[in-house]
Amino acid sequence: DDKISDQLGLSVYSRYWKNKPEFNRLINLQRVFGTIVAFPFLKRPLLFIARNNLNLLADAIFGIYFLIWLTFYFNITPRQLISYFTVWFRSAFSDDKSPSAVSIREGDGQLYPDPA
């Protein structure tokens, strides 16, 4: 539906909409799509997650898929991967004021690894 798709962002980092479950279903589908393409045998459970607005689970699946993709595509080391995950997790679930935390909570999804 054009009315719905015009209001969604193009990014998989788009925010969820309060009181608009049809938008959230599309955002969830956007988040699990890469995993469905990579692992077609998971299509049914992933579509169930997307259709039933299991937002946190869809986010987790996207995060895991994205980290695996980063690892293979950019040849990221395990230490870098742990740093990215740590920053994302801390940012998503805290009131941290760092650039990563603000970016993730605002829907940009930019990760800035901890300097170490």
Residue 92 has pLDDT above 60, yes or no: yes
* pLDDT of res. 105: 67
Write out pLDDT tens, residues 38-79. Answer: 999 999 999 999 999 888 898 889 888 887 887 888 888 888
- Which residues, in sequence order, are CB contacts of 75 under 8 Å at separation 6+? none
Long-range contacts (CB closer than 8 Å, 24 or more residues apart) made by 105-112 = 106/15, 107/9, 107/11, 107/13, 107/14, 107/15, 108/13, 109/11, 109/12, 109/13, 111/84, 111/87, 112/87
Amino acid at 45: P
How far is the C-alpha of 1 from the C-alpha of 55, rounded, in Å? 21
How far is the C-alpha of 35 from the C-alpha of 73, rounded, in Å? 15
Question: What is the pTM (predicted TM-score) of this model?
Answer: 0.60
* pLDDT of res. 116: 45
Residue 13 has pLDDT above 70, yes or no: no
Residue 17 has pLDDT above 90, yes or no: no
